[in-house]
Amino acid sequence: MALVATRVLVINGQLSFAVTIKRTLEQVGGFVVSPFTTADAALDYLSGHPQDVAIVDLKLSDMPGPDVVFRLRSIQPDIAIIASPRSSQVDAIVHDLDLQGSIDVPVTARELVPLIEDAVAHMHDVLPDTAQAPALVEESETLLIAPPEPEPLVQAPVSPPEVPEFSSLDSVLMNMGGFVTPSETLPIEAEDTPVEAAPEMDTAAFRQQQKARKAFEQGMYS
C-alpha cells in the first residue's frame, strides 16, 4: 500500500528559509512542500489545493500573524498550523489561538519532522478531514425530483340529447298518448250498401245547441 505524502504549506517572508524547508523535507521523503513569501499568494493557493499543515511566519509584512491564522482556518478548518519564529510573543499567540506548535529559526529536520507529524495527527483526531472530503456531484449528475405531472383528463364524448322526430301531427299525438297507434285502430270494412245522408237538424235546435256549448266553454276558461 502506497503511503500518502504529507502536504506542507510554508509561508515565510525569507525566501531562502522557505526553500530550505522545502528541500530538507522532500529529501527526507513523504512530504510535498509548497513555499510562499506572501500570505495572499499562499491563501489563494490553499483555496484550490488543500494542505495538511502550514508553517507560518507570524511576522509577515503584508498581513498580521493572527489574521493569517484566521484566514487559513476559514478556508480549511482542519489544517494544522505551526508558528515561527519562536518567541514569547509568538508563544502567546500559539496558546491563545490554539495552534499546534512553534519552531525556532533555524530548525533541523530532526526537530521539524516529528512536530509536523504530531500536529497533523492531532488535527485529524479533533476535526474531520475536510481536505479529503468527497467531491460534490456535478450539476449534470444530479437527480431532479419533481412531483409527477398530472395525467390529462380524457372526457368522454357527450352525445346531444335525442330529439324525437315527429313527421306529422299524428305522430306527436301518438307519442303524447293522445292518439291511438295504427295497430290499435279497428279495421273498417267497406260496405256495399250506400251511405244514407244524415237527416237535417232543425235550425232552431242547432242554434240552441251552439249557445249551450259556447256557454259551457266560457265557464271552463273563465
> Is residue 198, in this structure, part of any structural domain at all?
no
Q: Which domain holds residue 34?
A: 6-132
113 burial via Cβ count (<10 Å: 0-12, 13-18, 19+): middle
CATH number at residue 23: 3.40.50.2300
When divided into structural domains, the chain yields a total of 1
Residue 7: phi, psi to the nearest 5? -95, 125
> Is residue 180, in this structure, part of any structural domain at all?
no
Tell me the per-residue pLDDT of 21-74, one tens digit each, with 9 for 90 and over.
999 999 999 999 999 999 999 999 999 999 999 999 999 988 999 999 999 999
> Is residue 172, in this structure, part of any structural domain at all?
no
Listed in order, strand segments (DSSP E) in the chain are 6-11, 31-36, 53-57, 80-84
**What is the number of residues in the chain?**
222
Tell me the per-residue pLDDT of 195-210, one tens digit each, with 9 for 90 and over.
455 455 566 666 776 7
Coil, helix or strand at residue 83: strand
Contact partners, residue 166, CB within 8 Å, separation at least 6: 172, 175
pTM for this predicted structure: 0.56
The CA-to-CA distance between both ends of the chain, in Å, stands at 119
Rounded distance between C-alpha atoms, residue 72 and residue 42, angstroms: 9
Rounded distance between C-alpha atoms, residue 128 and residue 6, angstroms: 16
> Is residue 168, in this structure, part of any structural domain at all?
no
